[in-house]
Chains A and B, each alone.
Chain A
């Protein structure tokens, strides 16, 4: 049984396009995250939602817009894709945003912008 799932797993698109990545968790967690992992494996948080409310919004271009329709889902929409957006995007969840809880990661979405 998949705990945190993401779709699609691979996404190849051209510059200027708009794309979305979907994430779902069946762990009953209250908090969900989006991370970006670059080619050097550096993992950086982008957004965090707790019970559908945005609690962390790192310095991310406005072209990135997260949406949480319910606490089990957190989607990421990206407008006007740029070459520099190419990376692996990970969704994660945890019991709550407190620092004492482990995070569960999805399998990642490899985005390639050409």
Chain B
């Protein structure tokens, strides 16, 4: 069954603006991961946040996790054209040896 669901499904912004994507999930997790997929390519890992962490940064990326609301957000600051891609959240579910992906948010950065 699908665990994570991203919102919005599509997002279009101007270069330089910030982009925020959200992920909601259903069951308890040990960690949550965010991946990026450029058109026609494989997924690339961006960041992993553990269930006991609330916020994590990596360059222009900021991820938050609210386990009480079963939700996470990915913020990309000062967006660039190269950030155009689909972004997926993935959760493990306690005890699971697999990741369950959402359907992704398709982000378009307009020059």
Partner of A100, one of B45, B50, B86, B98: B50
A104 located at the interface, meaning its Cβ lies under 8 Å from any Cβ of chain B in the complex:
yes
Are B48 and A41 in contact (CB-based, < 8 A)?
no
Number of A-B contacts (CB under 8 A): 58
Are B104 and A99 in contact (CB-based, < 8 A)?
no
B42 located at the interface, meaning its Cβ lies under 8 Å from any Cβ of chain A in the complex:
yes
> Among residues 28 to 64 in chain A, which have CB atoms less than 8 Å away from a CB atom of chain B?
33, 40-45, 48, 55-56
User: What 0/1 readout, one digit per residue, does chain B (78-107) give for beta carbons within 8 Å of chain A?
Assistant: 000000001010001000111111011010
Partner of A107, one of B33, B42, B86, B92: B42
Looking at the assembled complex, report how far the CB atom of B37 sits from the nearest CB atom of chain A, in whole angstroms. 8
A21 located at the interface, meaning its Cβ lies under 8 Å from any Cβ of chain B in the complex:
no
Bound complex: CA of A107 vs CA of B50, how far in Å? Answer: 27
Are B96 and A99 in contact (CB-based, < 8 A)?
yes
Bound complex: CA of A56 vs CA of B30, how far in Å? Answer: 18
Given A99-B92, A100-B50: A45 touches B98 (CB 8 Å cut-off): yes
Are A100 and B104 in contact (CB-based, < 8 A)?
no
B77 located at the interface, meaning its Cβ lies under 8 Å from any Cβ of chain A in the complex:
no
Bound complex: CA of A77 vs CA of B19, how far in Å? Answer: 40
- Chain B residues in the interface with A (C-beta under 8 A): 2, 30-31, 33, 35, 37, 40-45, 48, 50, 86, 88, 92, 96-101, 103-104, 106
- Chain A residues in the interface with B (C-beta under 8 A): 4, 33, 40-45, 48, 55-56, 90, 92, 97-100, 102-108
User: Can you list 9 residue pairs at the A/B interface with Cβ under 8 Å?
Assistant: A4-B42, A40-B103, A45-B100, A55-B97, A98-B97, A103-B43, A103-B45, A105-B43, A108-B41
Q: Which 9 A-B pairs have the closest CB atoms?
A: A105-B42, A99-B92, A102-B45, A97-B97, A43-B101, A105-B43, A99-B30, A107-B42, A42-B103
